Structure 1
């Protein structure tokens, strides 16, 4: 094929055969060597200034021995430079926690910024489609900062103009593989800037023993396990409703019993009442003595117990009307937590249509009106489909444990949760690795948090039932 020649060169070419190949060689301008050296020196100076601006401490540490060697000789430089690394090593050996917080994680962040992220930034951005190569020039998102924690790298990125968080959320697999991580999560930190989380280790890989009983009665957020960052996971149950979804063996019982365990001192103090619906006759029946007369197992008893809870809620609403808008637990008006182990059995799989209608209506009434008067619902189910649980959106706080399908993640946690890193369908089915591991999406934040619930054993439940059942000892 013929190619169009630049400028007016084509009109000056003459050929007698139309198929003769035309070769055009542009004029070559020889650049003086001195100009090449000046450009190279300028680039070196600019690079040094940029490196000093971005990494002042590292550049100072690298330049100091060289300056001392030039000024005083290598013996003096060695003598003056040795105490610093020796002191750092001694500090790391004697107080590893403070060394890691003040020095260690900063050094690791600098190293991973240089060796992992900045080195691979351009190819990963171009291949994943987050950067653009236009007319020989790369337009890349700006790598702002890397911060290291004991378990992950937090990479701050300034997006290109016109990009959205969803553009990055759709490419989390590309980013994780490109930077050698097992997964990646995306969160919007401020306008035009996002934070990418790349885990280095998994602090939730081993089971967690039951959380110790609280020393003081309280209905505030209950500690039920641990977050991925190593902080305690505290679940709010007063003033909200919580939905827990997970496949068989995913660890729903760990969450339920951890919540009950954390509320037992408040139950003894008269500030909390636990109402239990156990249609499977497996999970909650083991500690049945803790619930007293507020325990139901058959569908008929479950419907009656829910109707009683609705009646308590409506009586409180009538008394509180015009006097208070939020509930504070007291002995006269304790916080009522309705625990439903397998809610889908009652709302979808129940053969009696009238019982199914009563139960669904009662649950809908409690989840729409119960928060303000101190009646909460903690419900667990295996199948999160809309036709199975048509009131799942009435639960402000949701927990997704191991799920069978990727589509179920968004069913439980809301649209876009999986794109933001809530990979509940990737949780291991091996109990030791994945039981109790899940993702929490709170009403106050769209970003999912990875957590693991503590395992409350049968022995723990027996001890709890013996100590806190009505009439039991301390």
Structure 2
């Protein structure tokens, strides 16, 4: 017969007073002291091993003086304490990048882990709803590690079983403000693990001067600005189509002119032709000499130029069919980049229905069939709504600059882009702070990348025209 434990009788108690609850204490089992000590020592050993594994440099720096003192005495420890700072200072002055990579960023990551994230982890998780407090116990996502770069903290997190990525993207603002960052972007590391990108400062706050004109003619990805991590931003134009959306003054012209600037040597060599449609007669007209007869301003001229591009595309398709599946730029078959400034004026706001339908049909044909034969489209617009631009999904690569509404971000970059950190509606309207800043979503990745395009001034465009004209004149003289 089983023995009853203290407290089992509470199940049989019945209160005869309606407003009186039965209060009882559950049975308390005494754990042997040796078990408690063994568990505590095991946890201590695991914590020490984990600390040594995650932070080898910091642990070595902390333990080295102790080891030297025990081995060689305190005098040698004092000498070492004076020598190491001098060695570190020399390292910083001579090889700053390697010092930061090996010592600086790991130490900063350890400090941020201890002072910021581990310190505030439990309250931020509970208040934001990503953790649960049940029956006196906290169930929290696990903070795996923190890695620091020059501009942001990359926090790796193991989600609770049953959580989804959307649970975290919906609470990106809570996480950003909880950890003292201006924003938070959520990306998937692998199944069950996420990486939270929390910027410490904005590396794109200052305007960028125009990128130098390349010395070598190339139709590959052209450098037009800088990514948020400090690396050059190279825009692919050959073999794709690019849609740029942004409010007035957001800096769409910086992307158009920077791309043209990067292709200038290839234009001089005859490997690239830029066909410009400028219905506003303001942006592209300043460098009209670069385009020659392939420049259109009126709606009728724009429709004719687009249909001419379709004719080139179809002629190439007839020749390439059965012979080649991709395009290689040559002087005989150059890459054709159709640049359209304010495409919505031609596709939605045009009063002439006939011209409007011709323009929409030509653009749809180019964006569906032009990539393989070397005809690309780069279009800029202000209003990304479907009724304004109904073929926006035919552009594989999309760029969202400053937008007026949060819903427009997903219209441009796709569903869920804003939840993953593409806060295009939060970009500053001050030109010095926000002009040219945008979020890029490439065909090969759903995660948005924050970039800033360089500003190409009027003087830079005049220089481009002079260089292009000189190069063309020299080519004709040699011919």
Classify the TM-score, shorter chain: over 0.9
49 and 445 in structure 1: CA distance in 2 versus 1, 3 angstrom threshold: closer
| Partner deviation per Cα, 1:226-284 (whole Å, 9 max, x = no partner) | 11111111000010000000000000001000011111111111111111100001101
Alignment match, 2:386: 386
Which of 309-318 and 54-63 deviates more?
54-63
Alignment match, 1:77: 77
CA deviation after TM superposition for structure 1 residue 109, in Å: 1.1
Alignment match, 2:427: 427
CA deviation after TM superposition for structure 1 residue 25, in Å: 5.4
14 and 278 in structure 1: CA distance in 2 versus 1, 3 angstrom threshold: closer
CA deviation after TM superposition for structure 1 residue 11, in Å: 4.6
Alignment match, 1:120: 120
Unpaired segments ≥5 residues, structure 1: none
User: d(CA) in 1 for partners of 2:320 and 2:128?
Assistant: 57
CA deviation after TM superposition for structure 1 residue 67, in Å: 4.5
CA deviation after TM superposition for structure 1 residue 63, in Å: 3.0
Alignment match, 1:62: 62
User: d(CA) in 2 for partners of 1:174 and 1:22?
Assistant: 42
Alignment match, 1:140: 140
User: d(CA) in 2 for partners of 1:432 and 1:331?
Assistant: 40
SS of equivalent residue, structure 2 residue 8? coil
Within 5 A, what are the aligned runs for 1:138-177? Answer: 138-177=138-177
Contact 1:292/1:469 (CA < 8 Å) preserved in 2? Answer: no
SS of equivalent residue, structure 1 residue 8? helix
Alignment match, 1:198: 198
Alignment match, 1:284: 284
Give the total of aligned pairs.
469
Contact 1:467/1:473 (CA < 8 Å) preserved in 2? Answer: no
Alignment match, 2:9: 8
CA deviation after TM superposition for structure 1 residue 116, in Å: 1.2
391 and 46 in structure 1: CA distance in 2 versus 1, 3 angstrom threshold: closer
User: d(CA) in 1 for partners of 2:241 and 2:14?
Assistant: 82
User: d(CA) in 1 for partners of 2:159 and 2:21?
Assistant: 47
Alignment match, 1:304: 304
User: d(CA) in 2 for partners of 1:286 and 1:427?
Assistant: 27
SS of equivalent residue, structure 2 residue 143? strand
| Partner deviation per Cα, 1:401-420 (whole Å, 9 max, x = no partner) | 00000000000001111001
| Partner deviation per Cα, 1:7-37 (whole Å, 9 max, x = no partner) | 313656887x665675545677888999877
| Partner deviation per Cα, 1:292-351 (whole Å, 9 max, x = no partner) | 111110001111111111111111001111101100011111100111001000000000
SS of equivalent residue, structure 1 residue 57? helix
71 and 38 in structure 1: CA distance in 2 versus 1, 3 angstrom threshold: farther
User: d(CA) in 2 for partners of 1:236 and 1:117?
Assistant: 38
Alignment match, 2:87: 87
CA deviation after TM superposition for structure 1 residue 157, in Å: 1.7
SS of equivalent residue, structure 1 residue 197? strand
Which of 198-207 and 402-411 deviates more?
198-207
User: d(CA) in 2 for partners of 1:260 and 1:46?
Assistant: 58
Alignment match, 1:323: 323
CA deviation after TM superposition for structure 1 residue 48, in Å: 3.5
CA deviation after TM superposition for structure 1 residue 469, in Å: 3.7
CA deviation after TM superposition for structure 1 residue 168, in Å: 1.3
Within 5 A, what are the aligned runs for 1:179-218? Answer: 179-218=179-218
CA deviation after TM superposition for structure 1 residue 42, in Å: 6.2
SS of equivalent residue, structure 1 residue 9? helix
Normalized against structure 1, the TM-score is what? 0.92
57 and 286 in structure 1: CA distance in 2 versus 1, 3 angstrom threshold: closer
| Partner deviation per Cα, 1:51-99 (whole Å, 9 max, x = no partner) | 3343343233323333544566544432344322332233223432221
Contact 2:242/2:397 (CA < 8 Å) preserved in 1? Answer: yes
User: d(CA) in 1 for partners of 2:66 and 2:307?
Assistant: 81
Contact 2:275/2:291 (CA < 8 Å) preserved in 1? Answer: yes
SS of equivalent residue, structure 1 residue 389? coil
470 and 145 in structure 1: CA distance in 2 versus 1, 3 angstrom threshold: same
Contact 1:290/1:470 (CA < 8 Å) preserved in 2? Answer: no
User: d(CA) in 1 for partners of 2:92 and 2:286?
Assistant: 49
138 and 358 in structure 1: CA distance in 2 versus 1, 3 angstrom threshold: same
User: d(CA) in 2 for partners of 1:310 and 1:470?
Assistant: 30
User: d(CA) in 2 for partners of 1:299 and 1:27?
Assistant: 86
Alignment match, 2:414: 414
Matched, 1:445 2:445: yes
Contact 1:466/1:473 (CA < 8 Å) preserved in 2? Answer: no
User: d(CA) in 1 for partners of 2:170 and 2:13?
Assistant: 53
Alignment match, 2:465: 465
SS of equivalent residue, structure 1 residue 156? strand
Which of 38-47 and 279-288 deviates more?
38-47
User: d(CA) in 2 for partners of 1:330 and 1:292?
Assistant: 19
User: d(CA) in 2 for partners of 1:468 and 1:330?
Assistant: 18
Normalized against structure 2, the TM-score is what? 0.91
CA deviation after TM superposition for structure 1 residue 50, in Å: 4.0
CA deviation after TM superposition for structure 1 residue 471, in Å: 7.8
Which of 54-63 and 211-220 deviates more?
54-63
Alignment match, 1:346: 346
20 and 142 in structure 1: CA distance in 2 versus 1, 3 angstrom threshold: closer
Unpaired segments ≥5 residues, structure 2: 1-5, 475-479
CA deviation after TM superposition for structure 1 residue 188, in Å: 1.2
